[in-house]
């Protein structure tokens, strides 16, 4: 019962953390941790049950069977964790291959910050594996046949971008928007948290125009509105039609 209660508390904490993260990679990390945690807790419960069963058996053959079953469970858990980690690496590999044409050209620059440094380069083996993924992806990208955008596609995207950007900037320039933003989001509370490497604003006395990208997006994420992700899209599609 104690193990189950502890597992439930940890799972809830992981889920709450997953709701707070702002990037897909960070969300993936939390989900991997949650998956490994669930597998570990399930294995712990099964191990306890196996040990109790092993204490109750009366023959050496029965004890050997229980021990083999326990070993199989341990191996299964280890393979599951390795598969999850490998899936994360494949995500990075596919992301590199998905770049637009003529953006890689045999060179790839990556910025690693915060906890991602430890995750990807925390030990020699992990660092070598990370560099293997990047190297393999960059080399493979040179043999990928990309879909070349046509003149019509570029013209359509320019028209959509112009319309959506105008709508986006018009709303942010509204005098009442700043009041709405500060009321609807925990932006002021987030600015007091010492969790970032840099201040939330480039200019402490400035308005939302001086707000950095991460606190701007993180504030909207807490409301589940995700306004920066979709604002202006509807108007752009209407104009294009």
Identify the pLDDT of residue 3: 46
Residue with tokens 């201040």: 199
| Residue 49 binned pLDDT confidence (cut-offs 50, 70, 90) | low
Helix segments in the chain, DSSP class H: 2-20, 24-56, 60-97, 115-121, 124-141, 151-172, 177-184, 187-191, 213-223, 227-230, 233-240
Identify the pLDDT of residue 212: 86
Domain boundaries, the chain: 2-98, 102-148, 151-240
What is the Cα–Cα distance from 129 to 134, expressed in whole angstroms?
9
Q: Which of 29-33, 64-68, 114-118 has the lowest mean pLDDT?
A: 29-33
The more confident residue out of 18 and 62 is: 62
Residue 101 has pLDDT above 90, yes or no: no
What is the Cα–Cα distance from 190 to 203, expressed in whole angstroms?
16
The more confident residue out of 217 and 112 is: 217
Q: What is the pLDDT of residues 142-196, one digit of tens each?
A: 898 888 889 999 999 999 999 999 999 999 889 899 889 989 999 888 888 877 6
Q: What is the pLDDT of residues 103-120, one digit of tens each?
A: 898 888 888 877 778 888
Average pLDDT, the chain: 77
The more confident residue out of 158 and 67 is: 158
Half-sphere exposure at residue 97, Cβ-oriented, CA atoms within 13 angstroms: 14
For residue 89 the two structure tokens come to: 């690496």
């Amino acid at each position: 019962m104690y193990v189950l209660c502890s597992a439930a508390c940890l799972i809830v904490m992981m889920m709450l953390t997953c709701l707070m993260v702002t990037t897909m990679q960070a969300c993936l990390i939390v989900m991997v941790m949650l998956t490994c945690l669930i597998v570990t807790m399930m294995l712990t419960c099964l191990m306890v049950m196996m040990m109790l069963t092993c204490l109750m058996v009366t023959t050496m053959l029965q004890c050997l069977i229980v021990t083999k079953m326990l070993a199989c469970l341990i191996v299964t858990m280890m393979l599951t964790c390795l598969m999850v980690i490998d899936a994360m690496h494949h995500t990075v590999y596919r992301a590199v291959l998905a770049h637009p044409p003529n953006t890689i050209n045999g060179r790839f620059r990556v910025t690693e910050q915060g906890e991602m440094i430890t995750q990807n380069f925390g030990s020699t083996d992990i660092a070598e594996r990370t560099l293997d993924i990047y190297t393999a992806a960059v080399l493979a990208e040179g043999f990928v046949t990309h879909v070349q955008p046509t003149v019509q596609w570029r013209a359509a995207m320019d028209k959509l971008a112009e319309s959506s950007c105008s709508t986006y900037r018009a709303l942010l320039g509204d005098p009442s928007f700043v009041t709405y933003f500060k009321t609807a989001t925990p932006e002021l509370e987030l600015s007091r948290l010492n969790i970032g490497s840099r201040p939330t604003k480039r200019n402490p006395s400035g308005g939302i125009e001086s707000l950095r990208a991460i606190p701007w997006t993180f504030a909207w994420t807490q409301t589940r509105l995700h306004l920066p992700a979709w604002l202006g899209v509807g108007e752009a599609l209407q104009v294009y039609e």
